[in-house]
Amino acid sequence: MARQRTPEGPPPPPPVQKLRIRYAKRGRLRFSSTRDFSRALERALRRAGVPMAFSAGFHPHPKISYANAAPTGTASEAEYFEISVTERVDPEALRVALDEALPPDLDVIEVVEAGPGSLAERLEGSVWRLEMRGVPLDTLAYAVERFLAVDVAEVTRVFKTGPKTFDVRSAVVSMVVTESGDPSCAILQTVVRHTTPSVRPDDILTALHAVTELSPPVPPLVTRLAQGPLHAEAGVADPLAADKDAVGS
């Protein structure tokens, strides 16, 4: 039997602080994937001199975890990740340094020290804004009214394990149609509950078409405005509020 090897040298320094970071993905970088972002982030962390904590073993990697990333092709004002560091840092100073080190359109909005509890478990729902170019306000309002009147709206999406059919309607908490200033472009804002499988903006468009035959002439511009705990007013709360309260207490 081969003898099990162990890594040479001392173990990596232990983490002493965990930080939760909110960032935005804007402009052309809405087409970047989670993998693209993770590569850009690791380079930026090194340029910013952040004392990252690393895993042990032959192939150590930074202790970074990502939470419910937006689909590739969608912009977002509310993406989150966590990072552990081996020296205590000032969250605001880290925010400024990391924001300067990242490419334009990847903007660090907020950094807080992590309190108790899981960040991922707080992300119960998302607020999505869909800019429906080529769709008049009345047309979209009628489609949304018909969609909200049905009990079930199923779509089929292909996953790595094959095609899967699931209900979109039950995940939609609310839908509101507003003007954009252009009579040929309406805005759909919707609050969507996080489910398994997750209901994405393209699933909502597919379900709207299935129920109402709505078919935008060009793909909508999609932005996630927020994600966090669902609350009674059919919106989402700040998922970092508990961390801010814990630090302030």
Task: Going residue by residue through the chain, which has 249 residues, state the pLDDT in tens, using 9 for 90 and above.
Answer: 455 565 666 778 899 999 999 999 999 999 999 899 999 999 999 999 999 999 887 778 899 999 999 999 999 999 999 999 999 999 999 999 999 999 999 999 999 999 999 999 999 999 999 999 999 999 999 999 999 999 999 999 999 899 999 999 999 999 999 998 888 899 999 999 999 999 999 999 999 999 999 999 999 999 999 999 998 765 899 999 999 988 765
| Lookup: tokens for 60 | 């150590």
Residue 240, in any domain of the structure: no
Contacts of residue 131, Cβ cutoff 8 Å, sequence gap at least 6: 180, 185, 187, 220, 221, 222, 223
Residue 90's CATH number: 3.30.70.580
End-to-end CA distance of the chain: 56
Q: Are residues 78 and 135 in the same domain?
A: no
Q: What per-residue confidence (pLDDT) applies to 246?
A: 81
Residue 241 belongs to a domain: no
pLDDT of residue 215: 94
Residue 201: give the domain boundaries: 125-228
